[in-house]
């Protein structure tokens, strides 16, 4: 079993069947994005939200595989600003350092003005919840 598949099952055991049926990490991210967006709607599915962020972070920071990292950036991180419920909860799940490390990625689907507003929104919300830069 591939490392990405093992990690996905570890973080999202309740989605094992989706993970096992995915032929690639990109295919998994396509399905996982839809599940993740739904998990951010009320009632929130904290296990899926937390597991998805943990898996995404592993993919870009620990997989040591450029294809896995790129797929994760393109199929997950680029889209985080696009869904209001996801965007609203983002400061609870990403550190300031991780967020700022992805700030250029977030530009992909945004105008410069939208991007600036998104950055400010995140940073202000982090201050309000007492989680300063790490």
- pLDDT (tens digit per residue) in 81-91: 999 999 999 99
Q: How far apart are CA 51 and CA 134, in angstroms?
A: 21
Reported as a single tens digit per residue, the pLDDT across 40-54 is: 999 999 999 999 999
- Give tens-digit pLDDT for 2-47: 999 999 999 999 999 999 999 999 999 999 999 999 999 999 999 9
The string of DSSP codes covering 47-87 is: HHHHHHHHHHHHHHHTS--HHHHHHHHHHTGGGGGGSHHHH
Alpha-carbon distance values, 78 to 10, 17, 68, 87, 109 (Å): 24, 25, 14, 12, 7
The yes-or-no verdict on residue 95 having pLDDT over 60 is yes
Q: Is the pLDDT confidence value at 131 over 70?
A: no
Dihedral pair phi/psi, residue 42, rounded to 5°: -75, 135
């Amino acid at each position: 079993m591939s490392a990405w598949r093992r990690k996905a099952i570890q973080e999202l055991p309740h989605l094992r069947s989706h993970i096992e049926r995915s032929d690639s990490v990109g295919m998994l991210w396509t399905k996982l994005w839809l599940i993740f967006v739904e998990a951010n709607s009320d009632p929130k599915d904290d296990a899926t939200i937390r597991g998805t962020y943990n898996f995404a972070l592993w993919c870009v920071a620990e997989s040591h595989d450029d294809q896995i990292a790129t797929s994760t950036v393109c199929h997950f991180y680029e889209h985080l600003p696009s869904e209001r419920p996801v965007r609203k909860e983002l400061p609870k799940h990403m550190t300031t350092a991780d967020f700022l490390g992805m700030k250029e990625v977030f530009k992909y689907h945004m105008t410069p003005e939208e991007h600036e507003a998104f950055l400010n929104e995140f940073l202000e919300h982090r201050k309000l919840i007492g989680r300063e830069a790490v």
